[in-house]
Amino acid sequence: MMKRTIAILGGVLLLGIPLFSQPYPLPRSSEDGIVYGKSVSRNEFGIDGGVFLSPDGSRQAVYRKDERAVTEFPLLDISTRTGSLKSIRYPMNGMASEHIDLCVCDTLGNILTTLKVTDFTDERYLTCVSWAPDCQSIFVQVLDREQHHMHLNEYSAADGSFLRTVLTEENSAWVEPQGPLHFIDNEHFIYRTDNRDGYKSLYLSGRGGILHRITTVDADVQFAGFADGWLYYTSAEVSPIENHLFRTKLLNLKKARWSRPERLTPEKGWHEIEMADDCKSFTDRHSSKEVELRVTTRSCDGTLLETSPAGKPASDYSMCDVITGCTPSADGQYENYYRLVCPKDFDPSKKYPLIVYVYGGPHSQMVRDSWMAQIRSWEPRMAQLGYFVYVQDNRGTSNRGAAYEKAINRACGQAEMADQMAGLNALLERCPWLDRDRIGVHGWSYGGFMTISLFTNYPDVFKVALAGGPVIDWKWYEVMYGERYMDTPETNPEGFELTSLMNRTQDVHGKLLICQGAIDNIVVWQHSLSFVQKCIMEGIQLDYFPYPCDKHNMIGKARDHLYDKITGWFTEYL
């Protein structure tokens, strides 16, 4: 039997939309390189799917991706008798990218129309697709390939014609749409951007443009729900390392008046919120550095409805002390948050080795006021073996406002390294028990890029390094992410020259191990193999360990093997 449900779209109640166990049929193309209804733009700009059902369930907006011009990258499959290659379309920085259209289809997969998008070039991005509640139009954020200009456009769902540009954004660093519109009626919606007031803020908008900034705090916020006139959102305004749920009521739509915000999560720490469809209640996964995870369900007036078990108490395990704090950024403009995991039975009269675990890239926040400061299981393992482990956020990471994030523009790794070293040097000054001759660094992906960057730029500091899946040169990374932060080799040659690790092979010293999945489709194998090849040609020794059947993120047996490898590497050489 076909299931039926009640759905909410921006506060508009939608009754009886059928949920099928299989998606509606999609158009098909006989040409290789053209696909319908799949995620596009490598899941950037908040994109995580390719089909957008109309509120009444009668039509679907579907991505059409034409990637025939995109170069193919071969991945080696060793499971066949003689080995074989599987090619993926991988649009590299500065090279040909995919062409995206948005088709309107019926529920049988027939194309009814295609939106007539004429903004920018054919390699522009179509993001944050949102149907109007009356199903008569579709709103799309159209972003130029350079990611400096965005048009929020409205199109007719009937014939695909352009109706109006609702608003525009532009920024010399980048514009990065992150989510759909949230309608409160057929004419008005909630819109989120960090491009107007310096923080990710919520705005009351209409088809004629932005009417009012709702969240007037100097902090990043995230939409959580809207119903019965109440807007629910999470905010970092208490602290960048805390997350809390707030609500405000729409008092007068015409005058764009809202009530004074109410905080619904009084407990200190990090609250992961899941709102009910009708916004009458919410589930709160809450913890803090000192408080283990608690899962509760509350009504929006604060009444406790249910408490769920949160799993085996951490107190049953042999835990290590975790110290948290702030340290000034290298430019003196910010306070960066850190955690320091201490060895079991720490004795300040002894000397201890230190491992810096680093990620440092966009869309990340490594330190939060959650249980044990968001500690990873590998960190206490190393602490129990007698190591201090230091983890710090830096400029370029999220939840601190636009200027903080965009400090890395056109020079990835530079502000991040400066902040990491400022924090590390301050730590060494405060902690005489840390052995300055036994400092290691480890990270994966962007953290792998940061690991080799730190290791080669500061040879007098780091003795041992292990880099996983590292970006070596941004010209080999994909268009959407790479061009946002670095532009292209043609438009930013100085930045690419400065950040390329191919220029740092002569600075490899001590013990460096690189690990990577051989079928990595995110940071392709060309990165690490090119670095290794240059080291070979220059007579420079390093170590390398491939995972032949794994992609970018290790799972299962490979992950267990990897963490044994990491632990053994530092145990042997640090």
Catalytic residues: 445, 520, 552
Dig out the tokens for 84 from the structure.
Answer: 């074989």
| Listed residue (217, 239, 213) closest to 399, CA to CA | 239
User: Hunting for tokens 């200190």 — which residue is that?
Assistant: 268
Q: Compute φ and ψ for 556, nearest 5 degrees.
A: 60, -140
Specify the length of the chain in residues. Answer: 574
Q: Which amino acid makes up residue 300?
A: C
How many whole angstroms separate alpha carbon 158 and alpha carbon 170?
Answer: 30
How many whole angstroms separate alpha carbon 44 and alpha carbon 88?
Answer: 17
Write the burial class of residue 416 (CB in 10 Å: 0-12 exposed, 13-18 middle, 19+ buried). Answer: buried
Q: Say if residues 524 and 90 touch (Cβ distance below 8 Å).
A: yes
Q: Compute φ and ψ for 87, nearest 5 degrees.
A: -90, 140
Mark out the alpha helices in 458-540 (DSSP H runs): 479-486, 493-499, 526-537
Q: Say if residues 145 and 119 touch (Cβ distance below 8 Å).
A: no
Q: How many CB atoms lie within 10 A of CB 120?
A: 16
| Phi-psi sector, 474: left (phi>0), alpha (psi -120 to 50), beta | alpha
Mark out the alpha helices in 290-401 (DSSP H runs): 378-384
Q: CA separation (Å) from 208 to 141, 163, 202, 205?
A: 15, 12, 17, 8
Q: How many CB atoms lie within 10 A of CB 388?
A: 25
How many whole angstroms separate alpha carbon 249 and alpha carbon 566?
Answer: 51
How many whole angstroms separate alpha carbon 318 and alpha carbon 59?
Answer: 55
Q: CA separation (Å) from 245 to 219, 263, 423?
A: 13, 6, 31
Q: Say if residues 508 and 465 touch (Cβ distance below 8 Å).
A: no
Q: Compute φ and ψ for 350, nearest 5 degrees.
A: -100, 170
Mark out the alpha helices in 141-188 (DSSP H runs): none
Q: Say if residues 543 and 514 touch (Cβ distance below 8 Å).
A: yes
